[in-house]
Amino acid sequence: MLRYTLMRLGIFVGCLVVVWGAVYSGIAPRGLGSSNGLWIVALALIVSAPISLVALRKERDRASVQVAQRVDRMKANLDANRSQEDGADDGARAQGQTS
């Protein structure tokens, strides 16, 4: 997941540099007043999102498989812990009834 996040951040930074160059060279419109920095960041987000969607498809699928495996492993551990607690509770109750 870290690898995917870093790749996504890299694409955003690349788009930020390109958009910044385009705005300051006059190719893209400038923001209103002092909002130029926010305009550049917003435009870079808009441009980087579809690029990331297409370019990082395989990496996103790998990350989702890893997350799903981790969630399944955690669920299995929780179920195992619950069954151990139930067994210990049943044993304690059985001892309490016989004494």
- DSSP notation for the chain: -HHHHHHHHHHHHHHHHHHHHHHHHTSSPPPSTT-HHHHHHHHHHHHHHHHHHHHTHHHHHHHHHHHHHHHHHHHHHHHHHHHHHHHHHHHHHHHHHH-
19-35 pLDDT, tens digit per residue, is 999 988 888 888 777 67
pTM assigned to the model: 0.65
Compare 78 and 16 and report the one with higher pLDDT. Answer: 16
pLDDT of residue 19: 93
**pLDDT tens, position by position, 40-95:** 999 999 999 999 999 999 998 998 899 999 999 999 888 888 777 666 666 667 67
- What does the pLDDT read at residue 79? 83
